[in-house]
Structure 1
């Protein structure tokens, strides 16, 4: 992610995962909360780089 990663943006998601360890109901509630937050951000853009071709072996 290089310079595109902002720790504070991902901290709530990481905390939700860590807090829900072993608790399926809590994990599902956390995912639903994160999903609602993501859909509410109209400026959210996912950038997935194109898969690079495997170099030719010499």
Structure 2
């Protein structure tokens, strides 16, 4: 999401540009929810480190 005017979705072979206000609102809600579920900082670093270590097992 760039702003409240446009959302760009990258696909394997092309990209979509979303400009309809109701569609942008939907992407905004999903983005907010995903940001709430995400981990940041030290917690993210620990999660990534654990995932990399699991690859070595």
Which TM bucket (shorter chain)? Answer: 0.3 to 0.5
**TM-score w.r.t. length of structure 2:** 0.32
Q: Which has the higher contact order (CA 8 A, sep 6+)?
A: 2
Richer in strand (by share): 2
